Amino acid sequence: MSLIEHKKARLNYEILEEFEAGLELLGHEVKSLRAGQGKLEGSHAIVRGGEAYIVGMHIPPYQAKNTPADYDPDRSRRLLLTKKELQQLADYESQKGLTIVPLKVYNKGRNLKVLVAAAKGRKEYDKRAVLKERDSKREIERTLKNQ
Quick one: average pLDDT of 21-28? 88
What whole-number distance in Å separates Cα of residue 9 and Cα of residue 12?
5
Among 9, 29, 32, 38, CA closest to 115:
9
Which residues does residue 20 pair with via DSSP β-bridges, in sequence order? 115
pLDDT surpassing 90 at residue 75: no
What whole-number distance in Å separates Cα of residue 115 and Cα of residue 31?
19
Question: Could you report the per-residue pLDDT of 86-143, keeping only the tens digit for each?
Answer: 999 898 888 888 889 999 999 888 889 999 999 888 888 888 988 898 899 999 999 8
CA distances from 50 to 43, 57, 116 (A): 20, 20, 17
Query: Which domains, from first to last, does the chain contain?
Result: 2-122 (2.40.280.10)
Question: Could you report the per-residue pLDDT of 49-65, keeping only the tens digit for each?
Answer: 889 999 999 988 888 77
What whole-number distance in Å separates Cα of residue 54 and Cα of residue 48?
11
